[in-house]
Structure 1
Amino acid sequence: MNSTSSDLTYEVRKRNFRNVQIDAIGVALSTAAAPFLPVFLTRMGATNLQVGLLTAMPGVTGLVLALVIGRFLQTRRNIVPWFSGSRLMVLSSYALTGLASIFLPREFLVNSVLGIWALATIPQTSLAVCFSVVMNAVAGPEGRYALLSRRWTIFGLTNTIVTFLATQMLDRVPFPLNYEILFIALSVGGLISYYFSSRITLPDQTPPLLAKSQSLTGTIQNYLRLLRQNPAFVSFSLKRFVYLSAISLAAPIFPLFFVRQVHATDAEIGTINMAASAVTMVGYSAWTWISRRRGGRFVLLSTTFGLMLYPLASALTPQVGWIIVYAGVAGFFQAGIDLVFFDELMKTVPPEYSATFVSLAQSLQYLSAMLAPLAGTWLADHIGLSTALLLSAGLRFLGFLLFLRPDSPV
């Protein structure tokens, strides 16, 4: 899977770029329903455990299946059909949720919806691998910042507008009809996404020969052999794992910190989140511009150091007004993190084994997303919210120090 945009004509590359951006609109339209799914289940009588399962299932499935799915995708001549098909299956789950609410008795609904989303985690894991491979192939080595900054800005704007309109509808239509309309209507975004993403054109590739083994030990040895041949990938992935763990560690702590220590109102918490989201969208364009002038390494070091300041400053000055400012600054650096982590990771991935190596990186990310939040809440219980945030800042600073040592090229 070593296709790049340079293998294609200018017109095809231009059409691919446009299809990626319109695909983002469809995805944003459907995923605007995501925050309302746990709310819907709660209103339908779901327990805390059931709501927790909804959040945890993608990570568990991803950790278990990412390598298997990555190895399967590595043998495909063209990954685009798997990318668009996986996306359609995931986003169609919103429509199935709405239909289940209409046709199933209430006592069976919660478990049925959990079953729908449990099955959706399989194409969701495939999608996570396909996304990186397809975006890298469409953008080429020099276009990753431009492609993804535009895509994520469009996604953010669309998602914000649709979420605002959805909240207005939910307040005006009786329950559960309001949620049924929401899930079914927004699932149309999946069709938009499928239509345009399936029209991304990448040349067919001859899959590389993968060493086959009948035993788990042999399979592990094959992966280790590939990793030993690509030390830059191993180095960057481990550093990225440390930094992502530091971010995930603070994810469940911040809401608790805002409520219990800062005593912020719902409106103030909403303003904090809005400040971060709004500046993130601006940050995508800014960091693309900065990367052209100062290079990816400057972006990497600036953003990993800058994002460390958010938990540090919040813990030291727990005042709503200041935290709104800190959140906006964090949003700016988070935009750079999103872009540079993708760009730097794909620099270390051997093109002919892109699906395999992306699945390895995804497995580490799933592990971080599962374990770090649990560690964060445990630490908050034992050392306090502010101290846990300071620990997150310290771990981010450790990640920054690790990135100071550059990786050798592939």
Structure 2
Amino acid sequence: MTASERRNFYHLVLDITWFGVALVTTTRFLSVYAIRLNASPITLGWLTALPAIVLLISSSFGGWWRRKFKDTGQAIFLPALGFRFAYFLLALTPFLPERWQPLWLILAVTLPAIPQGIGGVIFVVLMREAVDSSRITQLVSSRALMMNIALALSALLCGIWLENAPFPLNYQIMFLFAFLATLISLIHVKRVKPIVNTGVPQQPIHWRTLFQSAGMRKVAWITTLTHVTFFSVFPLVPLYLVDDLSATEGFIALFGLVELAGGALVATMTGRIAAKIGVQSMVGYGMMFTAIAVWGIVLSPTLHATLIAAGLLGAAWSAVTIGLFGVMTETAPAGESTAYATLYTQTIGLATFIGPMIGSVLAEADVNLGWVLLGGGVLRLIAGVVILPRLHAKQQMVVSSATR
């Protein structure tokens, strides 16, 4: 690894570490905050779904934005800054009338999804340009490991803070601290200097042209299956823990800690797993284990027994996300990185919009929440089985670089 690669590697890992400190406030506690504000199941679904559809639309402008700048490092700054203001907007929630506060939570995470969609496309390209292609899986695994560690420690500290500080000041200060952490992560992003030239996108590539590639079609359908089925019940897990099992913020923090510890552990092994069975198989088996995890949450005899399922859930989803990124980066030709990253981001956005509405609509219709979660597990299991390559098929896109 050259000195420039090493510096980029270092800053990209620190970027996600600091961002992980902030991310836990939305991934673990935003839904609980909404529940405390008497949000309905459909509101919880919109908290995940609406930003996703906005991200889907705004990511279409990623290539257009990139062409306005000399390099990817310059292009990423403003979108990345705009996205980080979500945490500041969330901190303003207590200043609004109570009846408007759940709606404000949705707006606070939806409006910053506009720059997030643009920045997400550019950031995928920036990672490809920051290190040699042989280091991509190592970089993604290292980022996943440090993000999970940061998320776990932050979840623990935030849980303690939320349990002991008065409501709603506790959430307000937490979101302000998260905003400051994201600004530190942005400093590290700004210090990444591209060393691999993937080319400036000259003209947008029509999606029909992209789908002429068998590799891109595979990435699209695998990404769609994983995200629709995973997020079909994802927003409802905190609601089940709080309403059905009487979980507090402290337990939600512990649940997140165990889940993230599982993700961090698996992140250290994904390179070896992918090298042995292939990234597509890793994604398929990962989805099957996310099904077992959500079933474990519903069938647990006590609240604390759900922690076993939490660890399994974190490990399985970590394997899925790392595998998906590996498939995408190895599929995209160097000259079409932005176009492939755009379609990849849009696929995630569309699937993440559709998925949460499935379970939320059922829960809003007074279907028993436990049965909704069990059904979501069935969908995840089916997705995993479908994604697994045929036993007689030759494994493709094996990530061997991580074992070098």
TM-score by length of 1: 0.78
Contact 2:49 2:356 in 1 (8 A): no
Residue 307 of structure 1: aligned partner: 287
SS in 2 for 1:345: helix
2:339 matched to 1:359? Answer: no
**103, 125, 128: which one pairs with 2:120?**
128
Say which SS state the counterpart of residue 266 (structure 1) adopts.
Answer: coil
Percent identity over the alignment?
Answer: 19
The separation in 2 between residues aligned to 1:52 and 1:69, in whole angstroms, is: 26
Q: Equivalent of 1:224, from 184, 192, 208?
A: 208
Q: Is the 8 A contact 1:94 1:184 kept in 2?
A: yes
**In the alignment, which residue of structure 2 is the partner of 1:151?**
143
**In the alignment, residue 389 of structure 1 is paired with which amino acid?**
G
- Alignment CA distance shift 1:357-1:255 (3 Å): same
Please list, as runs of the form range in 1=range in 2, the aligned pairs for 1:316-355 lying within 5 A after superposition.
318-320=299-301, 324-325=307-308, 327-355=310-338
* CA offsets 1:280-333 (integer angstroms, 9 cap, x no match): 101111122444xx35x5343144125314425865993448865455344333
Equivalences for residues 154-303 of structure 1 within 5 A: 154-203=146-195, 206-210=199-203, 222-228=206-212, 230-251=213-234, 266=247, 274-291=257-274, 294-295=275-276, 297-303=277-283
Equivalences for residues 18-97 of structure 1 within 5 A = 18-34=10-26, 35-40=28-33, 43=36, 52-73=45-66, 76-97=69-90
CA contact (8 A) 2:280 2:387 kept: no
How many Å apart are 1:51 and its aligned residue? Answer: 5.1
Of residues 396, 402, 405, the one that matches 2:384 is 396
Relative to 1, partners in 2 of residues 1:189 and 1:82: Cα closer, same or farther, differing over 3 Å? farther
Task: Give the drift of 1:405.
Answer: 4.9
Q: In the TM superposition, what whole-angstrom CA distance separates every residue of 1:54-77 from its partner, at most 9, and x where no partner exists?
A: 333211202223223344435643
C-alpha distance in structure 2 between counterparts of 1:258 and 1:107, whole Å = 24
Structure 1 residue 118 displacement after superposition: 3.2
1:337 CA drift (Å): 1.9
Show CA shifts across 1:261-287 (max 9, x none).
xx7563888766544321210111112
CA distance 1:390–1:40, change in 2 (3 Å): closer
Distance in 1 separating the partners of 2:42 and 2:299: 31
- Structure 2 portions without partners, runs of 5+: 398-404
Equivalent residue letter for 2:229 = A
Paired AA for residue 139 in structure 2: L
- In the other structure, the counterpart of 2:356 is 373
Contact 2:259 2:313 survives alignment (8 Å): yes
Could you tell me which residue of structure 1 aligns to residue 130 of structure 2?
138
Q: Give the CA deviation at 1:167.
A: 2.6
Shift of 1:365: 1.5
Displacement after TM superposition at 1:40 (Å): 4.2
User: Any idea what SS the aligned residue of 1:281 has?
Assistant: helix
How far is 1:399 from its partner? Answer: 1.7
8 Å CA contact 1:66–1:126 kept in 2: the answer is yes
Amino acid at match of 2:160: Q
User: Could you state the TM-score of these two structures normalised by the residue count of structure 2?
Assistant: 0.79
Partner of 2:401: none
Q: Aligned partners of 1:179 and 1:259: how far apart in 2? A: 17
Let me know the Cα RMSD of the aligned residues: 3.7
1:156–1:281 contact (8 Å) kept in structure 2? yes
1:174 and 1:313 map into 2 onto residues whose CA distance is: 33
How far apart, CA to CA, are the structure 1 residues paired with 2:45 and 2:132?
38
Note if contact 2:198-2:337 (Cα within 8 Å) is conserved in structure 1: no
DSSP 3-state at the match of 2:319: helix
Partner residue of 1:10 out of 2, 13, 16: 2
Contact preservation (8 Å) 1:29, 1:159: yes
Contact 2:88 2:176 in 1 (8 A): yes
Give unpaired runs (5+ residues) of structure 1: 1-8, 212-218
Change (3 A) 1:210 1:402: farther
Q: Deviations over 1:139-182 (max 9, x none)?
A: 33211221122212212212222222223233333333333322
